[in-house]
Structure 1
Amino acid sequence: MSDGIFIIKDDNNLIEMRSTAFESEDLLQELLATHPSLIAGDAVDPINPRRWLLIAREQAVPGEEGGSGRWSLDHLFVDQDGVPTLVEVKRANDLRGRREVVAQMLDYAANGVVYWPMEAIRQQFERTCALTARDADQALREHLGRPDADFDEFWRGVDVNLRAGRIRMVFVADVIYPELKRIVEFLNAQMSPAEVIALEIKHYTGQGLRTLVPRLIGRTAEAERRKGSSGATSVTKPQLSIEEWFTWLNAERGAKEAAIARSVYNWWIAQGCEITVTKSQKPALIVKLTHGKGHCWPAVIKSNGRVSTALCYVLTTRPFDSIEARREIVSELERTFGQRYNERAVDGEPYVPFALLQEPAALEKLFAIWQSFVNRIRVGS
């Protein structure tokens, strides 16, 4: 039986690709770090496919309280439900790929759930983003798929999952041998709420091309029956209605600030926008603007006494997919309200506090900036 795959190009030429070993274990590790979707999230959970956020490669694992790191885990990811996912990589020609790697992983898991400080994990994620010149907040928003994501709530969920032992252990290799498969199936059936799986990533090369084919191994129907859903259970605050939110804001911030928020709300409604209350621990009002080519979220009215121009949610909306156009908005807000924003504001949420909007003339100045903002989005230039 041929161990190869065949690709037919648009010009009807056939490319034969043969199964080959990875040149190095480091290459496989790097591929997983840069392309986390190789971890077959739709196979891990077909109903609610998993998405992976890389915390770090070579994540230190302490062996005692306050320890700097006794071991080094190949990769630490979290999924969209904040479930820590430990990944250990071995090539088929590494003889440890059968039993020793299991002992290693259990060491990492047993100590990580006890000794990993959540704040250190969050800081490590931010350092990982900085190494690739990515904005950590934006990366997390994209991972969660929610423009109203509450970051603190997400990291608290990661901490809860970790302390409860609600983790996922993933063994990755180009060949998963039967001995490792049986061990993984046994552990996955016995361990709860932890999950143990193996991922075989076959590697094919030919004519300068490289193809990777992931295959999940170790899940059994009995294990799935015992465990139920693979995702973490998260507790979210009941969603408020708009009027409930204003009542809550009045109690939290006072009638004056609630009135300013109401004026801002009314202005966006007059623009034909939809406004919803977020489900975060500190709920906000988020504005949805529908335009000719889709929709975006141009503003957020926050419960901490601020209203923000949400440039981070128009990054793919013309003309504000241009950093120069976003800088114009930031500069205008600075000139008008005397605010000083850092460089990240062009990809973030430059805000104006309610305290600067108490006079009707100040509100009108903000609305004038937003009117230009909205008009440019609607015409796309």
Structure 2
Amino acid sequence: MQPAEFSKELDFQRLLSRFPELLVGGQIDPDQPRRFVLVKQEQAIGHEDNEARWSIDHLFLDQNGIPTLVEVKRQSDTRLRREVIGQILDYAANCQVSWTWESIRSAFESTCADNEAQHDVVLAEFLDKDVTVDQFWSNVKTNLQAGKIRMLIVADHIPTEVRRIVEFLNRQMDPAEFLAVELRQYTAGNLRTLVPMVFGQTQEATKKQVSSSGPRWTEGRFIEALASKCSSAEVDVACALIAWMKTSGFPLIYGVGREFGSVYPLMKVQNVTINPVYLSTDGKIWFQLKSLSNKPIFDDLDMRRELLHRFAAVNNSNLTQQMLNGYGSLPYGVVARDPDGTKKLTDAFEWIAEKVRSVPQA
């Protein structure tokens, strides 16, 4: 496959609107991968008496209600250097006084209506099961008032000087975040693949994010939290899965969630993180198959079907095909009630691991 440019910036923008997964939330925050829902394309931003002085290419929200401003530029656009930095900073500085959580909610509902979707259903599928719609919009309000926003420059090529500026700004910003996403396109005949990569995550910025989230969970703390709310049989399921992860050869990543702990094996294919399943102290195993749709191996729908089929082998799992383009969970209790449940899950994890190991690393 050969590198190829996007024919029009509008095509680039439409692609992001349809597939927010291209913003690679797993690279933005490997510990708690970001998921995004589109609020509006070309969201107006006011200044003083002008209610729509500017418009940002895309406004997204992540699962924590953090407004994410996305400005798109093609490599051929000469403004992709310092000008775009000032442009998105202008937007960020003014959106706090121009937007309210109500106006963001209204824009989101309008976008859903334009796409013939029910906004409450879209949110229900997007949010974690322990987060209510009211809590989500309350988080949006709090983040907006606190200036906790995320700025993303997305381009098919991020020049070195832009990367350095983004890294510098991201080190200085708190609680805001400034990153760049390079989205390269490769084609061969009628085939096309997209390879995203995030720039701007320095060691200092990563430490800042961790400190604002919570202390990193450990195995002992994870098991203790689980034992406080689950039966011994359920804890045994989690312990068996963690034991498999520890012998898999992949690094274990414990999350930094304040309320719930998480853990997953860090699998990478050609430097792209593959994280379809993670364990949580909320009593469930969580699946995020939607995030795989633009990842190596599992960008193939049949591969995602096979992955789901293997986990759905647990009796009464209730894992359905709808999860292929979304998210879902499997309680430890359901696994514990199946005499072969734990083995079915470790076999499913091993199947994923074998697929990852079979791909030559870059």
Per the TM superposition, whether the score is higher than 0.5 is: yes
| Pick aligned residue for 1:37 from 21, 26, 32 | 21
Q: Which residue number in structure 2 is paired with residue 323 of structure 1?
A: none
Q: For residue 62 of structure 1, what is the amino acid of its counterpart?
A: G
Q: For residue 50 of structure 1, what is the amino acid of its counterpart?
A: R
Q: Which runs of 5+ in 2 are unaligned?
A: 216-228, 230-281, 283-313, 324-362
Q: Which residue number in structure 2 is paired with residue 190 of structure 1?
A: 172
Distance 1:76 1:59, change over 3 A: same
C-alpha displacement of 1:207: 1.5
Q: Which residue number in structure 2 is paired with residue 282 of structure 1?
A: none
How far apart are the structure 1 equivalents of 2:145 and 2:60?
16
C-alpha displacement of 1:230: 7.0
C-alpha displacement of 1:118: 1.5
Alignment of 1:88 onto 2:111: no
How far apart are the structure 2 equivalents of 1:83 and 1:229?
17
How far apart are the structure 2 equivalents of 1:45 and 1:227?
9
Name the SS of the counterpart of 2:79 in structure 1.
Answer: helix
Alignment of 1:119 onto 2:102: yes
| Pick aligned residue for 1:97 from 68, 75, 80 | 80
Q: Deviations over 1:172-191 (max 9, x none)?
A: 00000011111100100011
How far apart are the structure 1 equivalents of 2:91 and 2:144?
12
Assess if the C-alpha contact under 8 Å between 1:129 and 1:135 holds in 2: yes
Assess if the C-alpha contact under 8 Å between 1:83 and 1:231 holds in 2: no
Alignment of 1:294 onto 2:276: no
How far apart are the structure 2 equivalents of 1:128 and 1:231?
31
Alignment of 1:60 onto 2:83: no
Q: For residue 197 of structure 2, what is the amino acid of its counterpart?
A: R
Distance 1:55 1:127, change over 3 A: same
How far apart are the structure 1 equivalents of 2:206 and 2:163?
16
Assess if the C-alpha contact under 8 Å between 1:55 and 1:128 holds in 2: yes
Q: Which runs of 5+ in 1 are unaligned?
A: 1-16, 234-240, 242-275, 277-290, 297-313, 318-381
Assess if the C-alpha contact under 8 Å between 1:52 and 1:80 holds in 2: yes
Q: Which has the higher contact order (CA 8 A, sep 6+)?
A: 2
Distance 1:135 1:230, change over 3 A: farther
Matches within 5 A, 1:162-177: 162-177=144-159
Assess if the C-alpha contact under 8 Å between 1:83 and 1:158 holds in 2: yes
Name the SS of the counterpart of 2:51 in structure 1.
Answer: coil
C-alpha displacement of 1:134: 1.0
Distance 1:315 1:227, change over 3 A: closer
Distance 1:70 1:80, change over 3 A: same
Q: For residue 83 of structure 2, what is the amino acid of its counterpart?
A: E
Q: For residue 77 of structure 2, what is the amino acid of its counterpart?
A: D
C-alpha displacement of 1:315: 11
Question: For the pair shown, which has the larger CA radius of gyration, 1 or 2?
Answer: 1
Q: For residue 29 of structure 1, what is the amino acid of its counterpart?
A: Q
Percent identical pairs in the alignment equals 48
Alignment of 1:203 onto 2:185: yes
Q: Deviations over 1:242-297 (max 9, x none)?
A: xxxxxxxxxxxxxxxxxxxxxxxxxxxxxxxxxx9xxxxxxxxxxxxxx964349x
- RMSD, matched Cα: 2.5
Distance 1:83 1:123, change over 3 A: same
Alignment of 1:27 onto 2:27: no
How far apart are the structure 1 equivalents of 2:68 and 2:17?
13
Alignment of 1:161 onto 2:184: no
C-alpha displacement of 1:163: 1.0
Q: Which residue number in structure 1 is paired with residue 115 of structure 2?
A: 132
Alignment of 1:47 onto 2:70: no
Q: For residue 52 of structure 2, what is the amino acid of its counterpart?
A: G
Q: Which residue number in structure 2 is paired with residue 77 of structure 1?
A: 60
Q: Deviations over 1:162-218 (max 9, x none)?
A: 110111000000000011111100100011110000000011111201110001111
How many positions carry a matched residue from both structures? 227
How far apart are the structure 2 equivalents of 1:155 and 1:40?
23
